[in-house]
Amino acid sequence: MIPSNDTLDTLGLFCPLPIILTSKKIKEMQAGEVLEVLSDDIGIKKDMPIWCRDTGNELIHLSEEGTLFKCYVRKNK
Cα separation, 4 vs 15, in Å, equals 23
pLDDT tens sequence across 27-63: 999 999 999 999 999 999 999 999 999 999 999 999 9
Domain chopping of the chain, boundaries: 6-74
Alpha helices, DSSP H, located in the chain: 17-27, 44-55
Q: Exactly one of 4, 7, 10, 15 is catalytic; which is it?
A: 15
pLDDT at residue 16, as a whole number = 95
15 is catalytic: yes
Considering the four listed CATH numbers 3.50.50.60, 3.30.56.10, 3.40.50.10490, 3.30.110.40, the one that applies to the domain covering 6-74 is 3.30.110.40
Cα separation, 8 vs 38, in Å, equals 6
Residue 1 predicted with pLDDT over 90: no
pTM: 0.95
